[in-house]
Every structure is written in structure tokens, then in C-alpha cells.
């Protein structure tokens, strides 16, 4: 049980002030092999999850998109090609190492002109209110210390009529799948992390952070508390992942 001075870092309870640095250390460790590990751990399915998120975002040419916890830029790359030369995509992450990997990868992919970068904390965004048509965060919200603050900020920076999407690991809805997923997460993922990245502890934390993340209904309630309306979610892969969407009306 946490109080206002402590928070969860995986299954551990740590001082609030320490979590951000601990999370930064995790992603500094895995940044260079992050994409490879995503492909290995999900057998490539993460690409389908992200594609579905982009489809649900309904972004159009000329719009302005903020991608939080952008990491190596999978969503930002897709949005950049959709919004075109008169639109803008801001690729933001609190972790400089991850953002650097994404910047380099997208530059190599020829994504230039309408893409900007910002090192930013999702809990206190350095952007004006009512300034984006769409805000997304993929596999990043569970690492935020104060999730409600981040959802509030996502709402603040959206323009009226805009929408936010949260793609995140969630709680499987099928009992046999949940058991198999637990076994995979705690037995296989750390071993893969050790073999591929040389770091089993970071992937053990990632598995634990998924279990500590709010379930689908709770997260939807948190979005509503943040001001979002018409909130919905869809489960993918039996609830292993969920996409939440809400609107600023």
C-alpha cells in the first residue's frame, strides 16, 4: 500500500522522488536493443497493436499530434506520414536515450520536416493548453509516477474536439491466458533480457510494472476523472493489451 510519499516501482515500494530516476535507468539500459526486444517478446504482434492505435486515432492531414513516451518513434513515424507537410508531430519522451534512438531511426527512415522532439515529463507538459488535435501514449503510462497527473495533462493540451489514446499492457480476460502470460512474463522475459540486452532486472521490472498497472475499467474511470468524455476501451490479444480512447468535447 502506497502513501503520498511512496509509490510502486514494479513490486517494490520506493520514495516518490526515486521512481523517475529508477525508470530512467531501466530505459537507459535497454534503449539500444529496445526495438529488437519488442519484436522478440511479442513475436512482432506489437506492430499490429500500434497500427490499430493509429487507425483509432483518426488523425487527418494538417493536424497536430503529440506522442508521449514516444521511445523509438513507431507511432510518431506513422502519424508524420499521415499529417503531411502542413501538419506536425511532436515526439516526446522523458528519457533522452530513448528519444535519441527514435530521432536517429526516423532520420534514417527519411521522416523529416514535420517532426519535432521534446524531452518532457508527461506529468507536467511544456505545451500550451488546447494545442493538439490528438495525444497518444503507447506502453508508457504504466511507468509514470502519477498517472492521473499525466491524464490530466493530456486533457489540458488537447484542443476541443481532440482525442487521447492510451495503448498499454493490461489485464487478460481469459484465465488460462492470464496464467500462461504470467509464466511467460516472469520466466522467459528476464532470461531474454539477459541474453539479448545483458539485463534481466529491467525486464523483471517491466513485467512487474504491467501487473501493477490499473485494469481496463479503472483506467477508463481515471480518464473520465481527468475530464475526458465518450471514454471507451478495446481489448487486444485477450486483454494482454488494451487501447483506451477519450475525447475533449
Domains of the chain: 6-174+203-247 (3.40.50.150)
What is the reported pTM?
0.90
CA distance 91 to 206: 22
SS3 category, 53: helix
pLDDT values of the chain reduced to their tens digit, one per residue, 249 residues: 445 689 988 888 989 989 988 888 878 887 877 777 788 888 899 999 999 999 999 999 999 999 999 988 999 999 999 999 999 999 999 999 889 999 999 988 888 789 999 999 999 999 999 999 999 999 999 999 999 999 999 999 999 999 999 999 999 999 999 999 999 999 998 888 888 888 888 888 888 999 999 999 999 999 999 999 999 999 999 999 999 999 999
Asked if 80 contacts 111 with a C-beta cutoff of 8 angstroms, the reply is yes
Residues 6+ apart with CB under 8 A from 56: 165, 234, 243, 245
Q: Residue 4's CB: how many other CB atoms inside 10 A?
A: 6
CA atoms within 13 A on the CB side of 131: 12
CA distance 114 to 116: 7
| Cβ 231 vs Cβ 244: under 8 Å | yes
In angstroms, rounded to a whole number, what is the distance separating the alpha carbons of residues 106 and 101? 9
Amino acid at each position: 500500500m502506497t502513501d503520498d510519499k511512496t509509490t510502486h516501482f514494479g513490486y517494490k515500494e520506493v520514495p516518490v522522488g526515486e521512481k523517475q530516476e529508477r525508470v530512467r535507468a531501466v530505459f537507459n539500459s535497454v534503449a539500444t536493443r529496445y526495438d529488437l526486444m519488442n519484436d522478440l517478446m511479442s513475436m512482432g504482434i506489437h506492430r499490429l497493436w500500434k497500427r490499430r492505435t493509429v487507425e483509432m486515432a483518426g488523425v487527418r492531414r494538417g493536424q497536430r499530434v503529440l506522442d508521449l513516451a514516444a521511445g523509438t518513434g513507431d507511432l510518431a513515424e506513422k502519424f508524420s506520414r499521415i499529417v503531411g507537410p502542413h501538419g506536425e508531430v511532436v515526439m516526446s519522451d522523458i528519457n533522452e536515450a530513448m528519444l535519441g534512438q527514435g530521432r536517429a531511426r526516423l532520420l534514417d527512415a527519411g521522416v523529416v520536416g514535420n517532426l519535432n522532439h521534446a524531452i518532457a515529463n508527461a506529468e507536467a507538459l511544456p505545451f500550451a493548453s488546447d494545442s493538439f488535435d490528438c495525444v497518444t501514449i503507447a506502453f508508457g503510462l504504466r511507468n509514470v509516477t502519477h498517472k492521473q497527473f499525466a491524464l490530466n495533462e493530456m486533457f489540458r493540451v488537447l484542443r476541443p474536439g481532440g482525442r487521447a489514446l492510451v495503448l498499454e499492457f493490461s489485464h487478460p480476460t481469459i484465465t488460462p491466458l492470464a496464467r500462461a502470460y504470467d509464466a511467460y512474463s516472469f520466466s522467459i522475459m528476464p532470461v531474454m533480457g539477459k541474453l539479448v540486452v545483458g539485463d534481466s532486472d529491467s525486464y523483471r521490472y517491466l513485467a512487474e510494472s504491467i501487473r501493477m498497472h490499473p485494469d481496463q475499467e479503472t483506467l477508463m474511470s481515471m480518464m473520465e476523472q481527468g475530464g475526458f468524455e465518450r471514454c471507451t476501451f478495446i481489448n487486444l490479444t485477450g486483454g494482454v493489451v488494451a487501447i483506451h480512447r477519450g475525447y475533449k468535447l
